[in-house]
Amino acid sequence: MFFIKTKMTGWGLSIVYMVIVIVSIMIPNLIPLLLILLPALLIMMVKNQQWRPWILSLSLGMLLALFSANWLLYWIFIPFSAIEGWFLGQGFARKEVGYQIVNATLVWVAFFVALVLLFNASGLNLLSQLTTQMVKEIQSSSFLMALNQSGIQGIDLTTLVATMIPSVIIVCSILITLTHVVILRIFETARDPQSFPVLRHFKMPKRSAFLYGLVLLIMVFSPSNSDFIGQAVSTVFMVMTFLFALQAMSLLWWLFKEKMRQLPLALQIIIGLAGTFLIITILLEIFMIIGIIDNIIDLRKRLSKSKEE
């Protein structure tokens, strides 16, 4: 807790950054942790305007990566994490995180696209392998296979999964970005309980619900996913569904903000993770409908006015 409550210097953050890079090189199985920890450190440096440690961390990180068998992966990952760190760090510094979340998400989408291109250039079709693995997971699950047979008969499972890949990439990019926002929010709250809120004011741009309805109409009257346009529309639909569900969760967080403040920080995190799990699995459609209603009539504004009256 002392580490969190004390404003760590940029050089201290830089040392932690180097240690994580070295450990991940020595233990390759820990590389996935890079996706979570390293960008968070860069975001903190940018937020605190600690430019020299930020530049040193990036430079030494790229240099140390040369000692890894996966050096090319590091050389792609580190620049993209630096760009995301710039966006979110500036957002936290200016207390305008919402718009920067979109920019950071696009950075991670670009990272995954670059990763796919890298593997393709090396003769390894990453998308094909990912599709095959997802099909195996679905086939090994009796529930998912029953859902497939009852709800989407006549559609090849491999084709369906391949269509879902872009949506999976975008949703993963959103989750990575939000994870970094939550980590920074935890640090900010621990140091200053009155720091500005982030997630409970997350909202889709106005009139997004009308765009969502248009996408739904296109899917109804042109249900084929075999062409590029069909896949693009399907991807937009799935991503917007997830984002509206996330807005609904943000609305609930806003409604119960006073009670949430009284809970320990660890319990708040558990509730947030549980809510995210429910969104992704069981209650996606319900949360999506709530999010659309909030987007159309701005429930927060209406509820705030009713409280004032």
pLDDT tens sequence for the chain (309 residues): 434 444 567 888 899 899 988 988 888 887 777 778 889 899 989 988 889 999 999 999 999 988 887 888 889 999 999 999 999 998 888 877 767 887 888 899 899 888 888 877 777 777 777 777 766 766 665 544 554 554 444 455 566 666 777 778 888 888 888 888 878 877 766 665 555 556 666 777 778 888 888 888 887 776 555 565 666 777 788 788 888 888 888 888 788 776 776 777 667 767 777 777 776 667 778 888 898 998 888 888 887 776 665
Q: What is the dihedral of CA 136, 173, 85, 271, to 10 degrees?
A: -90
Tell me, what's the pLDDT at 219? 77
Q: How many C-beta neighbours within 10 Å does residue 85 have?
A: 26
Please give the structure tokens belonging to residue 279: 């969104």
Distances (CA, A) of 180 to 34, 152, 198: 12, 36, 12
What is the C-alpha separation between 111 and 69, in angstroms, rounded?
19
| C-alpha to C-alpha distance for 291 and 252, rounded to whole angstroms | 10
Angle between helices 228-255 and 208-221 (to 10 degrees): 140
DSSP state letter for 282:
T
Distances (CA, A) of 26 to 33, 69, 209: 13, 10, 48
